[in-house]
């Protein structure tokens, strides 16, 4: 079944018409450049709906850019529709390009952990399926070590095991343009989806005052 309710899908495509994007943009390959500028690093996170995962990072000081897309799968140039069948093996993810002199990977991990439910397997909030799994796709040994360390530090908080995977970064396929910065471009549609999904309620149950469920436009 589609992970997002039909009214959410309809709202999303209504928004596409408003801002002038079409599915024709998916025709050309969308491999994201994993080689940031000399002063920048990349981080890649999967945490369920990529609309919801992009917004917290794109407003962090020191973050230079964010893109949503698909990674961790076995097909080439996947589309949203293909990923949503759960047959490509990809997860919805966000790629963050950041200036490490202004924000550390540990800071980004803190944002990440407090915006996911790490004890759900192959699902996040109302979205079900392996494409909504949680994972940290590390770029190098330092990121791997930091991810493993913070995961171990957080484990005592939960009775259930943390199920978030820690995997080497794979090809990141940039999603169709209408998905990029969707929450900021389409706040009414996005906020209806977020409320219906119960994301904020669950994040506060998990993290209490440390939850960071929503970062407003600055």
d(CA 198, CA 1): 19
Tokens coding 135: 């994972």
Q: Give me the DSSP letters along 46-76.
A: EES-HHHHHHHHHTSTTEEEEEEEEES-SSS
> How far is 207 from 124, CA to CA, in rounded Å?
15
Q: Any idea of the CA torsion for 50, 132, 166, 170, to the nearest 10 degrees? A: -70
**Cα–Cα distance, 185 to 177 (Å, whole number):** 11
CA distance 51 to 214: 12
Catalytic residue among 15, 32, 46, 49: 49
Rounded CA separation 113/207 (Å): 9
Is 49 a residue of the active site? yes
Q: Other C-beta atoms within 10 Å of 178: how many? A: 22
Question: What amino acid positions are annotated as catalytic residues?
Answer: 49
């Amino acid at each position: 079944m589609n992970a997002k309710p039909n009214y959410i899908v309809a709202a999303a495509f209504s928004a596409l018409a408003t801002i002038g994007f079409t599915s024709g943009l998916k025709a050309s390959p969308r491999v994201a450049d994993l080689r940031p500028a000399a002063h920048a690093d990349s981080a890649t996170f999967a945490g369920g709906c990529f609309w919801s995962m992009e917004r917290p990072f794109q407003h962090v000081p020191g973050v230079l850019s964010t893109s949503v897309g698909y990674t961790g799968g076995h097909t080439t140039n996947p589309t949203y529709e293909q990923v949503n069948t759960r047959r490509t093996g990809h997860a919805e993810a966000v790629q963050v390009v950041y200036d490490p002199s202004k924000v550390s990977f540990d800071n980004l991990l803190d944002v990440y952990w407090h915006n996911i439910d790490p004890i759900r397997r192959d699902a996040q909030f109302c979205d079900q399926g392996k494409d909504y799994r949680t994972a940290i796709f590390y770029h190098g040994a330092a990121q791997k070590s930091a991810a493993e360390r913070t995961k171990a530090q957080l484990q005592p908080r939960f009775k259930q095991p943390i199920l978030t995977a820690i995997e080497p970064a794979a090809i990141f396929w940039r999603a169709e343009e209408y998905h990029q910065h969707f929450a900021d471009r389409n706040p009414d549609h996005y906020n209806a989806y977020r409320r219906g999904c119960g994301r904020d309620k669950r994040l506060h149950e998990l993290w209490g005052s440390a939850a960071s469920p929503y970062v407003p436009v600055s």
